[in-house]
Structure 1
Amino acid sequence: MSTTSVRTRRPAVLLLCCAALLTACGSSGTGTAVVRADPVTLPPADPAQVAATAAATGAFGLDLLHTLTADPGAAGRNLVLSPSGLATVLAMVLPGARGTTAEELAQALHTGLTPEQYALATGALNRPGAAAGPAGPVLRQSDDLWAQHDYPLDRHYLGVLAAAFGTGVHTADFRKDPEGARKAVNDVVAKATEGRIKELFAQGRINSGTRLALTDALYLKADWAEPFEAGKSADRPFHRLDGTGADVPTMARTTGLRYAEGSGGILGEPWQAVELPYAGSTLAMDLVVPAQGGFAAFRKGLDQAELDRILGSLTERTVDLTLPKFHFDTANELTPALKALGVKAVFGPGADLSGIPGPGADGALAVGTVVQKATVQVDEQGTVAAAGSGVGMDVNAAPAPADPVQLHIDRPFLFLVRDTATGRPLFLGQVTDPSAAG
C-alpha cells in the first residue's frame, strides 16, 4: 500500500527571545512551546550549489564509513548511518562557527560554500521535491533547536536556521533539569521517527552545562516498485567475513533492473551492483557487492568518485537476484569519528561558536557531544529506515561523564570534617578498626 509523502516543515513567525516567551507563559521548566524566528533574507538556493552539496554529503558519508570501520573490532559489524542527518545538524552549527572552528567543519563536510549557502543547499536537499511523488514513500525530515530558556541567541543565526530549515527554538531548562530536558528532546525525535529512534541522547549526554541541542529526525517508509514474492523467500547460505556460513531468510526474484559489474581499476576488486527502485518516486536502494574475500579491500578503497563511476555504469538488465532480509540498528557517539576527520576545535575550550549566543550569554559554547542512531529494515514489501542525529552544545565544553572509579574502603583511613567555605577543620581522625569501641 502506497502512502503520501509528508515532510514536517514549520512556518516562520515572529521572533521572541526565549526568556521573554517563558515569562509570558509563566513557565520556568522544560516546555514544548516553540520560539519562532523570522527568516533572514537570503537568495534562493542555487541549483549548482545544491548539486555540489549532495555530492559533498556523499563524500562525507564515505569518510564516516571508513572512520567507523577502521577499528578491526568494528570492521565486521552491521552498520547503518545517515550522512544526510549528520550533515544537516552540522549545517545548523556552521552558521554560528568562526575561524578555525568553521574551517574544520567545512573541510570535513567537503564544502567551499559560505555557511549560509551550505545551510540553504542542505535544507533544499532535505525537502522531498521530486524524490517522493504523491503516491510514493513516506519521507519526513525535521530539524529542531533546543535552548536553555534564559540563554540569549543571536537573531541572525536563528534567522538563517529558519530560512534554511524552518527551524524554531524549543525552550528547556538544561541547567536545573537536564534529565527532563533530555527526555523532552528524545521524545520529539522518537515521535518524528514513528518510535524507531528512542533515546537519541543517552543518559548523561545532556547535562547542567548544556545550553543548546540540535536535532535532525529522518523517517522513510518505501515500498519496492516491484515487491518480492513472499512465497519465493527461503533460507539460503550467507558467507560471513570470517569465512563461516549461515542460512538466513533470503528473498528472490528475476526481473529487469539496473545492473553493472566490473573489476580492476582504482579498487582492484571485482564487484557487482544493482539498483532497486521504490514505487512512485525517484528513490532507490543501490547494492554494491564485492567478490567473496574482497570486501575489506573494496570498502577501504571506495571513494565518492569511484562510487559515482559504479552507479553511473548501471544499465537495464534482466537480473536473477537474491537478497537477504535484514533489520538492525546502529548507535554511534560520533565525536571520535569527527575528530579523526579533522574536526577538533569545535570540541575544545578554544571552540569559536560566537555566532550563536546573543548579548549577555553566560559563557562561550563548545560542542560536547555528537550522536546518531539509525535503523533499517528490508523485507519483501520494501524498506523502513529512520535516523536521529544530535549535537549538544555546552558552556565551557562540559565533558561527558567518565566511567565511575572504584573505591572499596576495606583498610584503615583518615577522616576530616571541615568548613569548605573557609577550610577550617572541625574534626580530624583515623579509623583503623571500625568494630572496636575506642
Structure 2
Amino acid sequence: MRANRQRSRAAAGSAALAALVLAVAGCGGTATADTGELKASAPPAAPGAADQGAAATATEAFGLDLLRQLTAGQAGSNTVLSPSGLATALAMLLPGARGTTASELSGVLHATLPPAQYAAALGAVDRAAQSGGGGSTLKESDTAWTRTGYQVQQDYLRQLAQDFGTGLRTADFQKDPEAARKAVNELVAQQTEGRVKDLLPPGSVTARTVLVLTDALYFKGHWAQPFKPDATTDEPFHEADGSTVQAPAMAQTGNFRYAAGGAAGQSWQAVELPYQGDELAMDLVVPQAGAFDRVRDSLDGPGLDKVLGALGGAQVALTMPKFDFSAQEDLTQPLTALGVHTAFAPGADFSGISAPGQQPMWVSDVVQQADITVDEEGTTAAAGSGVVGVAGAAAPAPDLIHLDVDRPFLFVIRDVHTGLPLFLGQVTNPVK
C-alpha cells in the first residue's frame, strides 16, 4: 500500500476569500469561475525515472545547504524545514526566469536539468506516490496568485498547470494588500489542516505585489511499529552546550534498519523508522556527544546518501524523545548567501512570467513555516512555502544494538523510493 499523496485543488473557504478569487480570462485554456484554474489541454508525458531521480537528488542537496545556513552558529536551536516544499515553490518560479536569474536559481537548487525540464521532473516526483491508505496521508497543494490586471505569459500559465496542477488566482494586492495577504494565508491554513496559519507575515504583501506562489504540504503518518505509551519515561537529554534536561523518551526493541560510522571524533549512529505502508520513513542521524556540528556540517548530499545507503537490518533497543515544535523562516538572506542575487533586486529577469508591456518583476520575499509533532503513534508535520514577487520599479545482525537518542540529532522524512526529502531538521532540546 502507498501513502496517500494528494495534489489538492485549492478551494475558497470563506466569503472574504471567494471575493478575492476571480476567473482567469484569455489564457489559452479553460478557466473555472470559482478557482480560476487553467487546465492544460494536452499534458505532456511524465518525465522519466532518470529526470525524477535527478530532481529528488537535487532537492536533498538543496535542503542540506539550507539547513546549514539556517543553523550556522545556532547549535542550540530546534529547526524543521521542508526541502521539497521550498524547492517546489522556487521551481514554480524558475520556468519564468531567464539569463543570470535562471542560472542562479538553478545553481542553488542543484538543478542539473534545464529549468523547464527540472520543473517538470520535480512536479512529477511530487505526484509520484499513488493513493492507497496505508495509515499515512500526504497532501501537497500548489497555488499561484497574481495582482488583478497584471498580465502573465500564457506559456508560463500552461507550465504551472501541466507540471504543478495549479492555475492562477487573482487578488487585489494593489488596493487591499492586507486582505489579499490574509486570503493567501487562509488558503494555506486550509491546505495544511490548520497547522500553518500565517505563512506570509505582515508587511510581506504590499501594493507592489504582483505574484505570490505557495506550496502547502501536510503529512500524517503512523509508525509501522508504534511505541507503547506505557514505555515512555522521562529521561535525561544532553544538549550541545553540556546542560541536561528531562524529556519524555519513547522506547522499544525491534528490527530496524541501522548503521554506524564516521571518522574519529565525528562518529554517528543512524536508524530508520518506517511509516505504515513502507513508502515513507523517518531517518535519525545521531552524532557522538560533542560532534553534532561537525557531523551536521559534513552531511552534503553525497554524505547523507552514504549514511542512508549503509543502513541494514539490525535488532535495535531504541529510545528517542517525543518532540513538538515549529519554525518560521525568512529565507531571503540564506538564499542570497547560497548564490541567489539577481532575483531579489530590480533588474531580475522574469520575462517568462510578465507579459509584454507589464512592469518587470523581482522577488521581495521567500518564506517558509513548518511544524512537526512526533509521538508514540507517529508523526504529524506540515509546511507552507511562499515566494512573493513585486514590480514597480543487508542480512539482520545477530547482536542487539543499543541506541539512546539522548543528545542532539538530525532527522529527515523522505520518500524511500525516490529519496525526496519532505522534511528535514535538527532537535537540540526536545522540550523547548
Q: State the TM bucket, normalised to the shorter chain.
A: 0.7 to 0.9
CA displacement at 1:66 relative to structure 2: 0.8
Query: What stretches of structure 1 move > 4 A for 4+ residues in a row?
Result: none
Which of the residues 357, 361, 368 maps onto 1:365? 361
Number of residue pairs the alignment of both structures matches: 380
3-state SS in 2 of match to 1:7: strand
Match of 1:426 in 2: none
Q: Distance in 1 between matches of 2:300 and 2:175?
A: 46
Deviations along 1:388-419, one digit per CA (max 9) or x if unpaired, are 0000000036xxxxxxxxxxxxxxxxxxxxxx
Residue 223 of structure 1: how far off its partner (Å): 0.2
Which residue does the alignment assign to 1:245? 244
Map of 1:127 onto structure 2: 127
Q: TM-score normalized by structure 2? A: 0.84
Contact 1:260 1:314 in 2 (8 A): yes
**Identity across the alignment (%):** 50
1:350-388 Cα distance to aligned partner (Å, 9 max, x none): 100010012332x10000100000000000000000000
Cα deviation code 1:332-353 (max 9, x no counterpart): 0000000000001000111000
Partner of 2:316: 319
Quick one: distance in 1 between partners of 2:367 and 2:24?
29
Equivalence map 1:15-414=2 (5 Å) = 16-17=25-26, 33-38=35-40, 42-70=44-72, 72=73, 74-129=74-129, 133-264=132-263, 269-361=266-358, 363-396=359-392
**Over aligned residues, Cα RMSD in angstroms?**
2.3
Residue 298 and residue 231 in structure 1: after superposition, are their counterparts in 2 closer, same or farther (change >3 A)?
same
The C-alpha deviation readout for 1:5-62, integer Å capped at 9, x for no partner, is: 2513449xx96248xx99x98xxxxxx6324243675442121010011000000000
Decide whether aligned partners of structure 1 residues 4 and 261 sit closer, same or farther in structure 2, where only a CA change above 3 A counts: closer
Letter in 1 for 2:254: T
- Do the aligned residues in 2 keep the contact of 1:3 with 1:136 (CA within 8 Å)? no
1:210–1:53 distance in 2 versus 1, CA, 3 Å:
same
Provide the C-alpha distance between the structure 2 equivalents of 1:136 and 1:102, rounded to a whole number of angstroms: 40
Q: Which amino acid aligns with 2:52?
A: V
Structure 2 letter corresponding to 1:246? V
Aligned equivalents of 2:40 and 2:357: distance in 1? Answer: 21
Quote the Cα distance in structure 2 between the aligned partners of 1:158 and 1:62: 31
1:151-202 superposed Cα distances (whole Å, 9 cap, x missing partner): 1110000101111011111110000010010000001100000000011000
- How far apart in 1 are the matches of 2:142 and 2:165? 8
Q: Deviation at 1:248? A: 0.6
Q: Distance in 1 between matches of 2:326 and 2:210?
A: 29
1:157 partner letter: Y
TM-score (norm 1): 0.83
Whether the 8 Å CA contact 1:145–1:215 is kept in 2: the answer is: yes
What residue identity is the alignment partner of 2:64? Answer: L
Judging changes above 3 Å, is the alpha-carbon distance between structure 1 residues 188 and 3 closer, same or farther for their aligned structure 2 residues? farther
Whose strand fraction is larger, Structure 1's or Structure 2's?
2
Distance, in Å, in 1 between the alignment partners of 2:337 and 2:146 is 28
8 A Cα contact 1:39 1:162, kept in partner: no
For residue 125 of structure 1, report the CA deviation from its aligned partner: 1.1
Residues 79 and 115 of structure 1, relative CA distance in 2, 3 Å threshold: same
* SS at 1:100 equivalent: helix
| 2:6 alignment partner, SS class | coil
Work out the CA distance in 2 between the residues paired with 1:325 and 1:80. Answer: 15
Counterpart CA distance in 1 for 2:273 and 2:63 is 20
DSSP-derived class of the 1:66 partner: helix
Secondary structure in structure 1 of the residue aligned to 2:103: helix
Task: Give yes or no for contact 2:145–2:213 (8 Å, CA) kept in 1.
Answer: yes
* SS of structure 2 residue aligned to 1:275: strand
- Greater C-alpha radius of gyration: 1
SS in 2 for 1:360: coil
Q: Which has the higher contact order (CA 8 A, sep 6+)?
A: 2
Deviations 1:222-262 (A, max 9, x none): 00001000000010000001100011111000111000001
- Matched position secondary structure for 2:161: helix
Between the aligned partners of 2:303 and 2:209, the Cα distance in structure 1 is: 41
